[in-house]
DNA sequence: AAAATACTCAACCGCTTGGGT
DNA sequence: CACCCAAGCGGTTGAGTATTT
C-alpha cells in the first residue's frame, strides 16, 4: 500500500516505515518529546528526515490518534466543517479529537466529497430563496465567532497544530495518568500497551534492549554530544518536563 | 481464474507561515 | 527590514487491496 522503503542519494531513508523504526521514534518522542524534528532522527537512531519523522508521529504513532472507521456523527461533522472552512484540514482535524488532518483529507476525498456534492445538489433543489438570507446570517455569525478569538489567545502552534490540542490533550494526559496508577514502566514509555500499532509483547521485547542494543551507536553519540549537554544546559528541558513536571502543572491548572 | 478497474491511505513534496537574529 | 530556518499545511503520488468484468 505504501512505497517500498528506499534510500535517496543523501542516504536518507524514504517509503514505508518498519516496526523497528516506529518503535524507535515512539520511544524517543515519548521519552524526550520533539525538541527539534530536524535533529531528532539523529538522536533517535533513524535514517529518516525530520519531516518524515514528524509526519509519522503526527499521523500514526501519536498515542491519541484514533484509528478505524468513522462514525456517522464524525462524517457529518466533517461535511459541515468543510462547508464552513473549506480545505482547512488541520482546522477540521482540531475539532475531531483523535483524527489527523491527513486522515480526514483522505476520508474526504474517498468518501465524503461525493456525498457532500449529492447533499448540496439535493439541498439546492429544496432550499427556498427566502432561506438563503437565513443561511447567510448564520454563516456571518459563525465568521464573527471565529473572529472573536481573544487577541491574547495562544499562538497558532497551540490553537491549531499542537498534537495536544485542547480537545485531544485531556484524553492524552488522562491516558498517561491512568497508566501512572499502575507501577510505572521504565523510562516513562507507558503508552505502548494501548497502542494498536505495536503489541505489548513486541514492545516488551523491544524495550528490553532499547537502551542497549539497537541504540549502542546512537547512545554513544547521544551521550557524547548534544542531548545531554543540552539537557544539562536546560536547552531541551521543555520536552523532558513535558511528561513529568508539566503534567503536574497541567493538573494544577485543571 | 485472470485481468482490469476502483478504492484506500501512508508518505512525499513543495509552498507558506512565523519566530529568531 | 531582510534573511534564515523549523514547523506546519495541503495537494499529490503510488502501491497494496478489493471489487468487477
pLDDT in single tens digits along all 254 residues of chain A: 677 788 888 788 888 888 888 888 888 888 888 888 888 888 888 888 888 898 889 888 888 888 778 888 888 888 888 888 888 888 888 888 888 888 888 888 888 877 776 666 666 555 444 443 333 333 333 333 333 333 333 333 333 333 334 334 433 333 333 333 333 333 333 333 333 333 444 444 444 343 333 343 344 344 433 444 344 433 343 333 333 333 333 334 34
Domain covering A72-147+155-160 in this structure, CATH number: 1.10.10.60
How far apart CA A90 and CA A236 sit, in angstroms, is 27
DSSP A13: E
Record the pTM.
0.61
Distance of CA A150 to the CA centre of its chain: 25
- A131 CA to B10 C1', in Å? 42
Minimum CA–C1' distance nucleotide for A40: C6
- A29 CA to B14 C1', in Å? 26
Cell numbers 507507558 label which residue?
A: A190
Of the candidates A100, A119, A112, A123, the residue with the CA atom closest to the CA atom of residue A72:
A112
Nearest residue to C14, CA vs C1'? A3
The ranges of chain A annotated as CATH 1.10.10.60 are 72-147+155-160
Amino acid at each position: 500500500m505504501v512505497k517500498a522503503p528506499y534510500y535517496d542519494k543523501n542516504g536518507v531513508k524514504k517509503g514505508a516505515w518498519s516496526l523497528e523504526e516506529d518503535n524507535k521514534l515512539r520511544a524517543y518522542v515519548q521519552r524526550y518529546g520533539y525538541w527539534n524534528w530536524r535533529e531528532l532522527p539523529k538522536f533517535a537512531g533513524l535514517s529518516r528526515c525530520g519531516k518524515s519523522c514528524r509526519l509519522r508521529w503526527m499521523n500514526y504513532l501519536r498515542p491519541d490518534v484514533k484509528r478505524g472507521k468513522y462514525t456517522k456523527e464524525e462524517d457529518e461533522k466533517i461535511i459541515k466543517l468543510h462547508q464552513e472552512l473549506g480545505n482547512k484540514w488541520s482546522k477540521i482535524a482540531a475539532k475531531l479529537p483523535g483524527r489527523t488532518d491527513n486522515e480526514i483529507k483522505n476520508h474526504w476525498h474517498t468518501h465524503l466529497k461525493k456525498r457532500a456534492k449529492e447533499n448540496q445538489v439535493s439541498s439546492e433543489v429544496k432550499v427556498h430563496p427566502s432561506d438563503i438570507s437565513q443561511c447567510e446570517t448564520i454563516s456571518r455569525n459563525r465568521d464573527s465567532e471565529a473572529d472573536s478569538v481573544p487577541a491574547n489567545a495562544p499562538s497558532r502552534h497551540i490553537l491549531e497544530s499542537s498534537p495536544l490540542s485542547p480537545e485531544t490533550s485531556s484524553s492524552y494526559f488522562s491516558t498517561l495518568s491512568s497508566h501512572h496508577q499502575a507501577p510505572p514502566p521504565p523510562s516513562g514509555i507507558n503508552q505502548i500497551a494501548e497502542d494498536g500499532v505495536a503489541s505489548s509483547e513486541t514492545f516488551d521485547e523491544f524495550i528490553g534492549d532499547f537502551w542497549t542494543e539497537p541504540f549502542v551507536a546512537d547512545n554513544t553519540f547521544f551521550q557524547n554530544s548534544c542531548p545531554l549537554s543540552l539537557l544539562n544546559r536546560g536547552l531541551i528541558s521543555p520536552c523532558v518536563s513535558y511528561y513529568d513536571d508539566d503534567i503536574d502543572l497541567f493538573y494544577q491548572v485543571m
